[in-house]
Amino acid sequence: AKNLVAVAVNNQTGVATVTLQRPPVNSLNLELLNELSSALTELEEKKARGIILKSSSDSVFSAGLDIHEFSNTEEGRLKKFWTALQDVWIKLYGHSAPTVACINGHAPAGGCLLALSCEYRVMLKQKTIGLNETKLGIVAPLWFIASMENVIGRRLTELSLTTGKMYTTEEALKIGLIDEIAEDTNDAVSKSENFLKLFQNISPFARSQTKKFIRGNTVQSLVKTREADLKAFIDDITSEKVQKGLKVYMESLKKGK
């Protein structure tokens, strides 16, 4: 199997760098999500002292879900795909280790979701981030919305999602969607590492238990409704209206060149 996710652990600090590497845009397909999910489990078991999630490209962090998965007709694959995304979110959102998104590129939709699932966001200047689902004629699930709401609040989440707004790095900082701006990837990595240094003298138990108290309800809201969420996704995405809209969107992406 191809390595779509690379994990490198610094033995001195215990910090793991998890790099998404599926060129050109790190779109999240089933295989990448499965690898990311396994990596997160392994880092849970190994008691990693921190996770930095980044991209191998410095142009795109992740273009979000691989739109080709939405029209995949292979038996059962759509179900596996959505279940893998649920798994990744549950593991990342609730991870015991402190997590930083090193957003070294654009982060639309599912890319933004990954970033929102971390505890801190450092982003390259002159990129874009947001939950733009409505622009594709699709509806962000409740747990996407909760992830955003927990960072920027309900009012801005409503405005952002209904309009499908993509924020520039500079705008994102202003509304608290990201925490720091970086000049380049090296700078972004070092700022991510600096955030994790805050926990050097904090008990991992006290830290992770506090995070669990704060995030537990949000995670449980999906854990308890996974089946219904899966069914809603499959019903929506396979509907004729949505399929037509996605086709138009993909064509407009190509024409944008």
Q: Give the nearest distance from C-beta 80 to ligand CO8 in angstroms.
A: 15
In the chain, how many H helices and how many E strands?
Answer: 10, 9
In whole angstroms, how far apart are CA 119 and each of 53, 135, 244, 246, 248? Answer: 11, 27, 36, 31, 35
Residue 4 near residue 20 (C-beta atoms within 8 A): yes
Output 60 or 84, the one with its CB closest to ligand CO8. Answer: 60
Which CB atom, from 15 or from 136, has the smaller least distance to ligand CO8? 136
The answer to whether 110 contacts ligand CO8 (rule: CB under 6 A) is: yes
Three-state DSSP at 15 gives strand
CA dist., res. 112 & res. 178, Å (int):
10
Nearer to ligand CO8, 171 or 236 (CB): 236
Q: How far is the CB of 141 from ligand CO8 (least distance, A)?
A: 6
Can you tell me the distance from the alpha carbon of 257 to that of 255, in angstroms, rounded to the nearest whole number?
A: 5
Residue with tokens 């991209």: 55
Give the footprint of ligand CO8 on residues 8-47 (CB under 6 A). Answer: 24-25, 27
| 132 included as an active-site residue | yes
Per CB under 6 A, the list member of 52, 138, 151, 196 interacting with ligand CO8 is 138
Q: Catalytic: which of 119, 133, 149, 193?
A: 133
Q: Report residue 17 CA to chain centroid gap.
A: 15
- The single residue of 65, 124, 161, 177 carrying the catalytic annotation is 65
Q: Is 133 an active-site residue?
A: yes
Q: What is the smallest separation between the CB atom of 89 and ligand CO8, expressed in angstroms?
A: 11
Active site residue 44: no
Instruction: For residues 121 and 180, give the distance between their C-alpha atoms in angstroms, rounded to a whole number.
Output: 7
Residue at token pair 């900082």: 173
Q: Select 155 or 254, whichever has its Cβ closest to ligand CO8.
A: 254
Which spans of this chain sit near ligand CO8 (rule: CB under 6 A)?
24-25, 27, 59-60, 63-68, 106, 108-110, 132-133, 136, 138-140, 233, 236-237, 253-254, 257
